[in-house]
Amino acid sequence: MEQRNKPEMDAKFMPQEEELRERVDAAFERLRTGQAVYISHSDVEKRMAIFKAKIRARYR
């Protein structure tokens, strides 16, 4: 893994880290308030297969 020693590189990745943190915080908030929805492993696999098929279809 590449080390990030330069300040300009940290600034480059900061918005991505901030967005990820916001998404994780939102997920925990949904869990805390009872709004979270559990998706079974088999359902996730089906969704991913459909998603991958759509992506592949774009590039054929």
Tokens in use for 52?
């991958």
Q: pLDDT under 70 in the chain at which residues?
A: 1-11, 13
Going from N- to C-terminal start, the domains of the chain cover 7-58
Judge whether 36 and 45 are in contact, CB under 8 Å: no
Q: What is the pTM of this model?
A: 0.50
Residue 37 Cα to chain centre, angstroms: 16
Q: How confident is the model at residue 14, as a pLDDT?
A: 79
